[in-house]
Chain A
Amino acid sequence: MPENMSALQLVLTGDPALFAIVRLSLVVSLSAVLLAALIGLPFGAWLALSRFRGREGVIVVLNALMGLPPVVVGLCVFLMLSRSGPLGSWGILFTPQAMIIAQTILIAPIIAALTRQTIEDLWLEYRDELEAMNVGTFGRVATLLWDGRFSLLTALLAGFGRAAAEVGAVIIVGGNIDGFTRTMTTAIALETSKGDLPLAIGLGMILIVIVIAINAAAWSTRRFGERMAG
């Protein structure tokens, strides 16, 4: 980004570097939410419905994983993807792909744990009906996920919030490369270390506004959908 410009000026002048950073942040975090949802929603729903030995333990561990420290996830992914690590041949360390993988691991437990809770509550309501209709596990999971879709939006938003806000994982596996893996949060960390606190705060404001906008959009989708669905 150009020197000696405030965050407001960057926005008003439509600074391309700033928009590239915002775009990358959104691409990375939204991709991670998508992948984590593909893993977390079915897994959480399955866990809500199944009964097996050690289930309580799995739930406790899953809930605990919601608090995974981003820097630890970053470090683990770094060690896996490093050229000297087991997946080094992929050659994707210090790329946006690596950042998406790290954030997916970070937020999949959040989505899974919240889904488990939501579906378990729904299950109490639907149990008799589904059992009477003799629906299999797969059908139950699908039905409950579909019926709980508006509540589950909150789980996805919680995941997105975590992904968009974290800096520890993406800075380790992305490397904060200018124009390639620099996101809002790593840019804020960089500007802080350069002592440009006003620009860092300005970027922070922009990030908060974006997060609010996305939550507002999701909220109105939910309201609209609920009304449509009656």
Chain B
Amino acid sequence: MLTRRPVMMFAALTVVATSAAFAQDKSIAVASTTSTQDSGLFGQILPAFKKKSGIDVRVISQGTGQALDTGRRGDADVVFVHAKPQEQKFVADGFGVRRYPVMYNDFILVGPKSNTGGFNGTNDIVAALKTIKDKGVTFISRGDKSGTHAAELALWKGAGIDIAKDRGPWYKEIGQGMGAALNTASASGGYVLTDRGTWLSFKNRGDLVIAVEGDNRLFNQYGVMLVNPEKHKHVKKELGQAFIDWLISPEGQRAIADYRIGGQQLFFPNANSPGAQRRAAPAAHAAIP
């Protein structure tokens, strides 16, 4: 390319010219999921952390698969996602230092109010998925290797359905984020698996209602990891670890628990007892329109 050298030169110039304008002393980059961002959780807890530590947390919200990849490439200091097997692999492969459980919420199956699947209001996700497949009811899949997509695939498998083989025109993979999947389901009258946080803060519900909730298999655990400084020298390990330490501290855990939309708690901190999940407050959930 003819313009390449000048481009590089001016690029370097721009960097020098603008870095002063945008420079901030203490900042870390956190690759996280669309669910934590779209639900508004970070908007709630990051100011509290900044006030305490002076550290500016820059959140890049992606699907879990992409967020882990961002960490693998060294483009983030901390990864905060929700797909335990992939997280464990991330640490085992040496890209993350250690995985800390932080909090959980739950997945729900939402679908049309008209109850095209006939299972609205039940709590057996496996039965619901079998019905969707048997009846060929429209189902929207994230299809983007996100944590929610991974959870969805695991649920199909758990229902004894090989989705790669058994899928039909009713199964639509959109390859986009949670919000886009909800928009698509809302517009096409389909069912979609979503995390409860994104659902609660989602504003374009149309005729969508919660169809299936409260199944233990719908548990959704979040974990946080520091990107391994041995793999990527520039990782800000002290600042990144300070953020992780705060997230799992009583103060950080309280900040997470305090985040509510319309009086409802979205995330349930469990840094100290990640195994002992409780069902995510079904009484409160029943009140959701």
Contacts and interface: CB of A to CB of B under 8 A. Distances in A.
Nearest to B23: A95
A163 B11 CA distance: 16
Interface string B217-254: 00000000000000010100000000000000000000
Contact of A192 (B6, B56, B58, B183): B183
A88 B75 CA distance: 9
A3 B177 contact: no
A13 interface: no
A175 B75 CA distance: 11
B29 A94 contact: yes
Interface stretch (B112-120, B154-162, B200-208, B275-283): B200-208
Interface residues of A, number: 40
Interface in B179-207: 179-180, 182-183, 186, 201-205
A151 to B, nearest CB: 22
A95 B23 CA distance: 10
Interface in B40-74: 40, 42-43, 56, 58-61, 73-74
A108 B58 contact: no
A27 B22 CA distance: 11
A194 B18 contact: no
A82 B203 CA distance: 34
A108 B180 CA distance: 32
A108 B3 contact: yes
B179 A104 contact: no
Give the interface size bracket for B toward A.
Answer: 35 or more
Contacts of A178: 37, 42-43, 59
In the A-B complex, the 6 residue pairs with the smallest Cβ-Cβ separation, listed nearest first, are A193-B179, A195-B204, A83-B74, A175-B60, A195-B203, A84-B73
Given A104-B10, A178-B37, 7 more contacts: A27-B21, A31-B14, A35-B13, A88-B74, A97-B15, A100-B14, A193-B176
18 contacts: A38-B10, A39-B6, A83-B232, A88-B74, A90-B15, A92-B15, A94-B60, A97-B15, A104-B10, A108-B3, A175-B60, A177-B58, A177-B60, A192-B179, A193-B177, A195-B205, A196-B204, A197-B203
Interface of A: 3, 27, 31, 35, 38-39, 43, 58, 82-84, 88, 90-97, 100-101, 104-105, 108-109, 112, 175-178, 180-181, 190, 192-197
